[in-house]
Amino acid sequence: MQTAKAVFTNLFKINGANSCEVCGNEYEHCFEVRMNGEAHLFDCFECAIHALAPRCIRCGCQVVGHGVEAAGGIYCGTHCARQNGVTAPMEQSISERSQT
Ligand SMILES: [Zn+2]
Ligand SMILES: [Zn+2]
């Protein structure tokens, strides 16, 4: 019977230590992020964002906050969505919400 540790090690294809899947840093306080049912292991939030945060389809910046989902994809904010010709009502980004 496999021990929990063996299962864990197998799952992340690592040998005994927790290592970040982005930079490979072996760090005992690595944390797991589940996305679409898949587990990912990181040593820091920066690596998690690098690997998992979606990119704005107009400017390419990584969407770390709520972003704006519109027809065609995700944008970093309503500005980018409008620049791409999205006119449908969309959820306002936090920065624009505070200005109105
Ligand atoms: Zn890392
Ligand atoms: Zn953008």
DSSP 36-82: TTEEEEESSHHHHHHHH--B-TTT--B--S--EEETTEEESSHHHHH
Q: Is 33:52 a contact under the CB 8 Å cutoff?
A: yes
**Residue-number span of the structural domain to which 31 is assigned:** 4-52
> Could you tell me the pTM of the whole model?
0.66
Nearest bound ligand to the CA of residue 20: 1
Q: Both 61 and 99 in a single domain?
A: yes
Among the bound ligands, name the one nearest to the CA of residue 41. Answer: 1
Q: Distance, CA 35 to ligand 2 centroid (Å)? A: 22
100 vs 83, more confident: 83
Which ligand is closest to the CA of 46, given by its number?
A: 1
Q: How far is the CA of 28 from the centre of ligand 2 (A)?
A: 35
Q: Regarding predicted confidence, which is higher, 94 or 79?
A: 79
pLDDT of the residue at 37: 95
> Does residue 61 contact residue 69 with C-beta atoms inside 8 Å?
no
* Cα–Cα distance measured from residue 65 to residue 22, given in angstroms and rounded to the nearest whole number: 20
Domains identified in the chain, total number: 2
Q: How far is the CA of 63 from the centre of ligand 2 (A)?
A: 8
pLDDT tens for residues 24-71?
999 999 999 999 999 999 999 999 999 999 999 999 999 999 999 987
Are both 25 and 42 inside the same structural domain? yes
Of the residues 52, 70, 89, the one at which a domain ends? 52
Ligand sitting nearest the alpha carbon of 59: 2
Task: Give 7-16 pLDDT, tens digit per residue.
Answer: 555 555 544 5
State the Cα angle at 61 between 38 and 35, rounded to 5°. 10
Q: Which of 34, 75, 70, 41 is nearest to 56 (CA)?
A: 75
- For 96, residues 6+ apart whose C-beta sits below 8 A from its C-beta are 77, 78, 79
- 100 CA to centre of ligand 2 in angstroms: 20
pLDDT category at 95 given cuts 50, 70, 90 is low
